Amino acid sequence: MKGLCLNGQIDNAMEFHEKLVAQGYQLDHLTYGTLINALCKRRETGAAVFLLRQAERENVSLNVVTYNPIIDSLCKENRVTDAFDLFNEMVLKYNTSLLPDVVTYSPLINDVYTFGIMVEALCKEGNVEEAKIVIDEMMVQVGVEPDVAIFNSFIDGCFPSNQPDMAKDIFDSMDQRGVVPNIHNYTMMIKGLCKIKRVDEALNLFEEMRSKNMTPDAKIYTSIIDGLFKSGRDTCALKLVGEMHDKGLPTNVFTKSDLV
């Protein structure tokens, strides 16, 4: 079968396949994968999909390599919606037994905007480990650099998923990857660290952003001050409340018991 396909005799390979099926032979994923790949190279995507469905009906144990040529072929035909449908079907049907690889992602996701949508969706579902794989491996292999919005989505997803160290690691890597952290990155890091009582780390980031001439807003001050009060560091908290007042930022978020 493989020899026929390599020699360009795809029609003969398909006839041979049909004879084997008619005689009751159980073909494996390698055979189907070879035929599907050959059909896609000849731009016969419809025939490849038909063969895929036949393999599924026969309960053949497929792998991601079987799906990749069809997804790639659909994208080349500008049938991106169909490609995404097949991609989602693959993930849902086989759960973790058929995890997409970089070859699957490449034709579907080839720009920073689409990668951003994917990272945000994964993080909202709590799949930050998979989102990190997308950033650290998939994007690198495809040759797309993450932007500040992707880092925002990832950091924002780490703290609810109880992955503060992962957030810190990715935040610390931003400069190395040519992305300058903005005030939103600092806000999410400071807020997240204060919520888990890692106030000293939050204070370090607070001072770091000020050293970069970034002006902390009321949200950042509030997070830091709340964290300080809750950790019993009232003197430091009150000093920052005074700073807020001097800068004209609202301090009415703090109760009288906080300030006494």
Question: In terms of domains, do 8 and 84 share one?
Answer: yes
Predicted TM-score of the model (pTM): 0.61
Report the domain count for the chain: 3
Parent domain of 73: 1-91
Torsion angle defined by CA atoms of residues 175, 177, 178 and 179, in that order, rounded to the nearest 10 degrees: -70
User: Mind listing the pLDDT tens digit for each residue in 143-189?
Assistant: 888 999 999 999 999 999 999 999 999 999 999 899 999 999 999 99
- Domain limit, last residue, from 126, 157, 181: 181
* pLDDT higher than threshold 80 for residue 111: no
Instruction: Provide the residue type at 227 as one letter.
Output: G
Q: Assess if residue 216 is contained within a domain.
A: yes
Q: Assess if residue 139 is contained within a domain.
A: yes
Report the CATH number at residue 27.
Answer: 1.25.40.10
Question: In terms of domains, do 31 and 61 share one?
Answer: yes
What CA–CA distance (Å, rounded) separates 41 from 19? Answer: 23
Confidence band (pLDDT; 50, 70, 90) for 194?
A: very high
What CA–CA distance (Å, rounded) separates 29 from 33? Answer: 6
What CA–CA distance (Å, rounded) separates 127 from 122? Answer: 5
What CA–CA distance (Å, rounded) separates 36 from 46? Answer: 10
What CA–CA distance (Å, rounded) separates 164 from 58? Answer: 46
Low-confidence winner among 52-61, 77-86, 93-102 (lowest mean pLDDT): 93-102
- Domain limit, last residue, from 153, 181, 209: 181
- Domain limit, last residue, from 128, 146, 181: 181
Question: In terms of domains, do 81 and 20 share one?
Answer: yes
- Average pLDDT value for residue range 40-53: 90
Q: Assess if residue 160 is contained within a domain.
A: yes
Q: Assess if residue 44 is contained within a domain.
A: yes
The confidence score (pLDDT) of residue 254 equals: 55
Q: Assess if residue 237 is contained within a domain.
A: yes
